Structure 1
Amino acid sequence: MIRAETVCDKGEAFEAADTITLDEQQRHRRRMAMVSDGGIAFLLDLAETRLLREGDGIRLDDGRIVKVVAKSEPLYAVRGQNAAHLLSLAWHLGNRHQAAQIFGDHILIRREPVLREMLLGLHAVVEDVDAPFDPEGGAYAHHHHQHGDEARPLTAAHD
């Protein structure tokens, strides 16, 4: 079986032979049999567990690179009344150890009805969205990803 032991960070220049579309939990791996979107079967066999980010490249031992695509997931977009309120909401989510993707004007989290009720009780605006989820790595993560004010289009969920 083809093996993949290295990852090219999304900032590196590479030409992808194929893509693999995964949600956030599927992208948090060390060792797993995988199949690219075009049918390339390979064994991901990294030295340590890491979160594969949107745009990273998985280098196969035959030299080809498979580009990682983040799959849209059902999330909440959380907005505050102002920057200080959003910061307070982020603190409450962090206090509950929730994975979160932080933007300048909103936070993305996985849908969880109990959290929705808590956030609404804190006067947050909570919107159901479908979007790729690329949460912060945490203080002890080896591959920290900074989001800053980058914008990603959000698509309202249709139930």
Structure 2
Amino acid sequence: MNRATQIVRKLAVKPDRVADTITLDHQARHRRRMSMTADRGTEFLLDLGQATVLEDGDALKLDDERLVQVVAAEEDLIEITTSNPLRLMKLAWHLGNRHVPAEITADALYIAPDHVLVEMVRGLGGKAEPVRRAFRPERGAYHEHPEPPRDVLHVHGHGHDHAEVHEHHEHEHGAGCGCGHTHG
């Protein structure tokens, strides 16, 4: 069985090398190792060094040099819109504060269906409607980016397995520092 051990990012994909496509939803596009069958029957073992997000248009390079291009599948989502950009930014902040994967566009936010979040959005003046489309949420701040300089990296122990970057503040981080989240 062919193995796919490399990702060719969308901008570097040569269309004449694409032998097949594989249509995957958002969750299935975040993998490390798994047996897969592409849309036209090409079977292969995805065997990456670490779990990686495959973006719409990226390709998986097979041992025999052929490419299998990734297509983002349509899925059920919630489209969040508002009457003005400021309210949309505030809703994006509230969703981000809850670590919700979200796709951000100029006019809308897209999230996976969640009735609690839909009620929150509506309670904050937003409109939340079900839609069906490909989901392309924002990548995390550290996804495939070099680590930030150590002088701006502060790791806060507040129940999450990640680091947060903050600009230097003219105050100490304490319970009431006002930087937007709690500190333990």
TM-score (norm 2): 0.76
Could you report, residue by residue, the CA deviation over 1:32-64 in whole angstroms, capped at 9, with x for unpaired residues? 111100111101111121110000011100111
2:7 is equivalent to residue 7 of structure 1: yes
The secondary structure found in structure 1 opposite 2:12 is coil
Superposed structure 1 runs of 4+ greater than 3 Å apart? none
- 5+ long unaligned stretches in structure 2: 146-184
The alpha carbon displacement at 1:83 in A equals: 1.0
State the Cα distance separating 1:19 from its structure 2 match.
Answer: 0.4
Q: 2-side partners of 1:111 and 1:85: how far apart?
A: 20
Q: Which runs of 5+ in 1 are unaligned?
A: 144-159
Alignment of 1:97-116 (within 5 A): 97-116=99-118
- Give distance in 2, aligned partners of 1:60 and 1:135: 26
Match of 1:58 among 45, 60, 66: 60
* Residues in 2 aligned to 1:138 and 1:82: alpha-carbon distance in whole angstroms: 26
Higher-Rg structure is: 2
Map of 1:134 onto structure 2: 136
In the alignment, the residues of structure 2 paired with residue 68 and residue 46 of structure 1 have an alpha-carbon distance, to the nearest angstrom, of 15
CA shift, 1:121, in A, is 0.4
Question: Percent of counterpart pairs with the same letter?
Answer: 48
- Of 13, 35, 38, the residue aligned with 1:36 is 38
Q: Which amino acid aligns with 1:9?
A: R
